[in-house]
Structure 1
């Protein structure tokens, strides 16, 4: 068996791991690179093998960094099945359509504004190409054996993180190889705790927060403070959010605060069409989350849902203090850019960062104290207050990742630390070696392993 780390190593984006066994090729995730320019440029590069020679894709979950390269994979010749949970298929459809639409719009604006270095700016893929992915989805049930071919089976188990997210146990050549996907938190607000693996010869474990522990603080109290402070100064609160699960978590906390009369009666707005669409998925896939139906219904009534971009413009130019949840979570694109163009120059504005910010993203630069940020070819002075609520991350921290390994019945031959920046992965490597004695490897992009 040969395994090649095509993406999602040394970084938290572009997850792609190729498994080759007895002439069969299986791709675990097919993500898009985000953040640093040199990473984003990899999205335009061909895979080291022809997509037409890949037999299956096994998808852990529907975030862009795990599913966002599927349209190009299919456009370049892949014709096989994409196995995933029902919520993951639904989430991926929303993510891919939204991504394609944003890319088409960005290319159009770049061409009209003439700020692209290319003679003609093109999207990475179009809406039409994204739609061609959907017929390839093959829905699996969690904890059931999926026979890919004689002697090769896969089992998908709950990973927490977001709706439908799974870890994947691949059984082949009398070995068990476990791919963690993105591991959620043991005490997540909406998701169930991740299922821990019992057996594994080899483990590919994410290490996003391998060097961090989430603060032992109450995110609801932090939100309460930031909102009340901003409103007292007649300011607007902008919460860039991942539309999938994080937006719903923030909505739930704001609803609780409002019910408890701890935040004022002002407009609370959700301006992310994808985030709004996700609310329907929470209704359709109740077994994948723990939000009570009656509370969910009451929560939704509290918010003004904005889908049409004309409404976005009206909200942006309304000077009334307000709280806006808007995509995207790493401030890489989408409607949040329109809000920031208007509001980052106002000292009374508060921008609340609530999720992991990849290297090179606007969100990371804002947290790191940038004096200005570049949006659509123009620089904007950053005068607004930028704060972070770390406890709202959908990723497990070092303690959660260590705990996920705790029920392995036998010592794995190796643990490969992926989906993490090098410093985080290395600190997790040391921790795992000290506590469990497992041998850990930190791969680089393109590295091959024979197992």
Structure 2
């Protein structure tokens, strides 16, 4: 049996792990690369394994870096089933359509304004390509064994992180392979704690925050202080946010502050059609999170929800101080760019980062103190205050990741540390060795391992 690391190795994006047995090939996740240019360019490269020869795909959750390459896989010849949970199926539909629409619009704008280096800019995939994925999707309930061949079966178990996210137990040729997907924090404000694996011969563990601990700061107090300071300066707070789960988490915290009368009277805007669609999924899939239907409805009443781009323009030119939550979380695209084009050069503006910022993204550059950022072919000077609130990450930190391994009843033959930059993965390797004495390996992109 072989495992191919086609993505999510040495980087936090592009997760793709192919398990090849004597009779079956199963792809765990099919994510898009984001961030550094050489990684983004990999999205245009053919998979080093013919898609038509892949029998099944299992998706851990609906973030773009775990499902965003599915339209290319299907377009290039994949004909099998794609297994996921019910919330993940709905999120995949939302996120792929949004991704395709953004790519088409950006290609059109690049050709119109001539800022592409290519003679003709093209989208990685179209809305039609995204829609071609949907007939392949098959819903699987957690904790249900699904046989996909005579010698291979799998089940999902709850991972927290985002709505519908699950880890995967894959049993093949008598060996148990556990793929963590992305693991949420043990004390997430909206989601339940992740379930822990009991048995594993091989573990494929994410390591996004493998070298960090989330601060023990009072997150509510941090957000309260940031918003009030910005309001007193007459500035706007722009929150680039992942539309899936993070928008809803930020909404929840702002709602808590408003209920305690700790925020000024000002507009609170959600400007992400995809995020608004996901809010509806929170109403629909109540068993996956902590909030009641009544709490969800009351929370939503605090916000102005914007879908039409004409309303976006009106909000941008509204002179009143306001809080705007807009996708995308790492500022790689989406409507947040429209707000930043106008506000990034104003010293009274605050850009509030609320999640992991991958290498090469605008969010990472801002976090590292960039004096200017490039948007739509133009450079904009950065005068805004850029602040990261680390406690809002949907990823578990080093302590959470170590804890996730704590209930294993056997010693795995190997733990592969994936979905992390090399420094984070290597530090987690040392910690796992110290705590459990498990053998660990940090695979590299494109590596093939026999197990």
Q: TM-score range by the shorter chain?
A: over 0.9
Aligned to 2:324: 324
**In structure 2, distance between residues paired with 1:291 and 1:413:** 39
Deviations 1:95-114, CA, capped at 9 Å, x for gaps: 10000000000000000010
Q: 1:22, CA displacement in angstroms?
A: 1.6
Aligned to 1:261: 261
Structure 2 counterpart SS, 1:302? coil
Q: 1:156, CA displacement in angstroms?
A: 0.3
**In structure 2, distance between residues paired with 1:27 and 1:143:** 20
**In structure 1, distance between residues paired with 2:156 and 2:317:** 46
Deviations 1:159-203, CA, capped at 9 Å, x for gaps: 000000010000111110000000001000111111100000000
Aligned to 1:438: 438
**In structure 2, distance between residues paired with 1:435 and 1:279:** 39
Q: 1:42, CA displacement in angstroms?
A: 0.1
Aligned to 2:203: 203
For 1:65-76, what aligned pairs fall within 5 Å after superposition? 65-76=65-76
Aligned to 1:404: 404
**In structure 1, distance between residues paired with 2:143 and 2:275:** 28
**In structure 1, distance between residues paired with 2:310 and 2:91:** 25
**In structure 1, distance between residues paired with 2:291 and 2:390:** 21
Query: Any gaps of 5 or more consecutive residues in structure 1?
Result: none
Aligned to 1:392: 392
**In structure 1, distance between residues paired with 2:172 and 2:101:** 39
Q: Which aligned segments of 4 or more residues in structure 1 are displaced greater than 3 angstroms? A: none
Structure 2 counterpart SS, 1:186? coil
**In structure 1, distance between residues paired with 2:17 and 2:237:** 39
For 1:86-235, what aligned pairs fall within 5 Å after superposition? 86-235=86-235
Structure 2 counterpart SS, 1:104? helix
Q: 1:435, CA displacement in angstroms?
A: 0.7
TM-score normalized by the length of structure 1? 1.00
Q: 1:293, CA displacement in angstroms?
A: 1.9
Aligned to 2:270: 270
Q: 1:151, CA displacement in angstroms?
A: 2.0
**In structure 1, distance between residues paired with 2:156 and 2:406:** 19
**In structure 1, distance between residues paired with 2:43 and 2:151:** 33
**In structure 1, distance between residues paired with 2:187 and 2:413:** 30
Query: Any gaps of 5 or more consecutive residues in structure 2?
Result: none
Q: 1:23, CA displacement in angstroms?
A: 2.4
Q: 1:307, CA displacement in angstroms?
A: 0.2
**In structure 2, distance between residues paired with 1:278 and 1:49:** 33
Structure 2 counterpart SS, 1:129? helix
Aligned to 1:282: 282
For 1:328-407, what aligned pairs fall within 5 Å after superposition? 328-407=328-407
Aligned to 1:6: 6
Aligned to 1:240: 240
**In structure 2, distance between residues paired with 1:291 and 1:381:** 41
**In structure 1, distance between residues paired with 2:314 and 2:275:** 19
**In structure 1, distance between residues paired with 2:376 and 2:395:** 30
Deviations 1:321-366, CA, capped at 9 Å, x for gaps: 0000000000000000010000001000001000000000000000
**CA RMSD of the aligned region, Å?**
0.5
**In structure 2, distance between residues paired with 1:4 and 1:278:** 32
**In structure 1, distance between residues paired with 2:361 and 2:441:** 27
Deviations 1:393-451, CA, capped at 9 Å, x for gaps: 00000000000000000110000000000000000000000110000000001111111
Q: 1:291, CA displacement in angstroms?
A: 1.1
Q: 1:217, CA displacement in angstroms?
A: 1.0
Structure 1 counterpart SS, 2:139? strand
Deviations 1:240-270, CA, capped at 9 Å, x for gaps: 0000000001001111111110001110000
**In structure 2, distance between residues paired with 1:330 and 1:162:** 16
**In structure 1, distance between residues paired with 2:398 and 2:132:** 38
TM-score normalized by the length of structure 2? 1.00
- Tell me the matched-pair count: 451
**In structure 1, distance between residues paired with 2:315 and 2:69:** 33
**In structure 1, distance between residues paired with 2:13 and 2:172:** 27
**In structure 1, distance between residues paired with 2:342 and 2:81:** 44
